[in-house]
Structure formats: structure tokens, C-alpha cells
Amino acid sequence: MSWEDAWREGRTRWDAGGPAPALVEALRDEFLPSGNALVTGCGSGYDVFALAESGRSTTGLDMAPTAAKRFEQLRRERGIQPAMARVALADFFTWNPGRRFDVVWDYTFCCALPPSQRHRWGYRMSELVAPEGRLATLVFPMAPDAPRDQGPPFPLFPEDVAAALPGWTVAEERTPTTSHPGREGMERLILWRPPT
Ligand SMILES: C[S@@+](CC[C@H](N)C(=O)[O-])C[C@H]1O[C@@H](n2cnc3c(N)ncnc32)[C@H](O)[C@@H]1O
């Protein structure tokens, strides 16, 4: 089943109906850098809206037209201006935004890709994050007992992300104190610095 099929048929059990609590905490604590932001695989856009409301002009990227429609509907309902929150309907692997981003937020996107695609994910991140920018990965689901090859979501650990990002270094990391219900203890927030 394609992502668009899942969206059209309402098979979106990943959709928690609001921003990642770890993102809300990170914004409150000024843990994330300022500047323009990108949310990969943004779905309905809750994380985009949270970043936009923190003052960051933010782009959400998703390849599913139904997700993009839902994003636009929610953006309008929230009264957020397109200058602050917009959705790009495109494939992460081929999209050319014509710019780089100060912050890229990745949650429930890397883990949605088959593990064999992670090196491509990492390569794309090196094209999307500005030289002085940061990639923020909310690593999830850290599920040690789950089969590694079954998903989405595919189990994901910090060492998997590090392996996909050769040359990148950890600028900061923390364990969130709050998560969506059922995801507690399975998340780690890491800020990655691109290679120089
Ligand atoms: C597991 S969902 C997570 C959505 C959202 N981040 C959330 O937590 O509610 C993954 C999203 O990534 C999108 N997606 C999957 N592969 C993609 C690709 N190659 N390029 C752009 N979006 C993609 C899907 O359409 C889907 O909306």
C-alpha cells in the first residue's frame, strides 16, 4: 500500500493529533536553533505548526496529496499564514527546494523508511541542512525487542542514525520527559552538526 492510499483510506494510526511533546519541550527550552525550518514527512503538519508558532518560517514536506490537503485545511483553521507554514508536495529523495534549512526536524519519517534507504536519507540530509544548521532527529521507536526488518515504523536507535550520517557529530542530545501516549521511553532527541 502506498502512503497516499493509507492517507486516503484513513489508515494513519501514526497521526497523534498534535505536535510531538518532545518538540514542544525543545521549543520551550530553546533547545533548537532559530532560523528557517523543514519538517520531513510532515503528514498533517502539527510539528510544522508548532515550529511556525515559535517564530520559525517552516516548510513541511510530504509526498501524499491527501496529507498536503489536510495540512492546508489545518493551517487555515489555525490562522497560520503561509509565510510561516507551507507544505511542499514532493518526494524527499528528489525534491529540490533551491535552498538549505537552518533546522531540519525528523520524527516518524526516518523510521518510516525501509532500513535499506537510511543511507540515502542521510545523504539527502547533507543536501538539505545549511552548513551552520542542525538536523534534529527525534529517534523513535527505540524498541529493542521488535524485529528490525518489520515496519513501518522500523525500530530505530541513535546508532542507526549515526551510521546514516557519516562525518556528522552530535551537537547536543536529551531524553524527552514527555511523549505521545504509548511512546514513552522509546524516544531520544539528537541535534546533529553537519560535516565541515
Ligand atoms: C509515519 S508518517 C508520519 C507523519 C507525521 N510526521 C506524523 O508523525 O504524524 C510518514 C509520512 O511520510 C510521508 N512520506 C513517506 N515517504 C516519503 C517520501 N519519500 N517523501 C516525502 N514524504 C514521504 C508519508 O506520506 C507520511 O505522511
- The total domain count for the chain is 1
Angle, alpha carbons 187-18-150 (nearest 5°): 45
Give the mutation target among 12, 51, 63, 139 for probing the ligand 1 site: most ligand atoms within 8 A of CB.
Answer: 63
Is residue 15 included in any domain, yes or no? no
**Residue partners of 39: CB distance under 8 A and separation at least 6:** 45, 47, 48, 51, 58, 59, 60, 61, 104, 105, 106
Is residue 111 included in any domain, yes or no? yes
Is residue 13 included in any domain, yes or no? no
Nearest CA to ligand 1 atom 13: 41
Is residue 16 included in any domain, yes or no? no
Is residue 66 included in any domain, yes or no? yes
pLDDT in tens, 46-104: 999 999 999 999 999 999 999 999 999 999 999 999 999 999 999 999 999 999 999 99
Handedness of CA 147, 149, 151, 155 (dihedral sign): positive
CATH code for the domain of 64: 3.40.50.150
pLDDT in tens, 95-128: 999 999 999 999 999 999 999 999 999 999 999 9
Element (H, E) at 62: strand 58-62
Q: What pLDDT score was predicted for residue 187? A: 98
Q: What pLDDT score was predicted for residue 109? A: 98
Q: What pLDDT score was predicted for residue 1? A: 78
Interatomic CA distance for residues 132 and 113, integer angstroms: 26
Q: Does the beta carbon of 20 sit less than 6 angstroms from any atom of ligand 1?
A: no
Averaged confidence pLDDT in the chain? 97
Q: Does the beta carbon of 129 sit less than 6 angstroms from any atom of ligand 1?
A: no
Angle, alpha carbons 182-183-187 (nearest 5°): 170
114 CA from centroid of ligand 1 (Å): 12
Say yes or no to pLDDT of 2 above 90: yes
Which pTM value belongs to this model? Answer: 0.98
Is residue 91 included in any domain, yes or no? yes
Residues facing residue 86 across a β-bridge: 59
Is residue 14 included in any domain, yes or no? no
Is residue 49 included in any domain, yes or no? yes
Atom of ligand 1 nearest to the CA of 93: 19
Domain region containing 153: 3-7+21-193
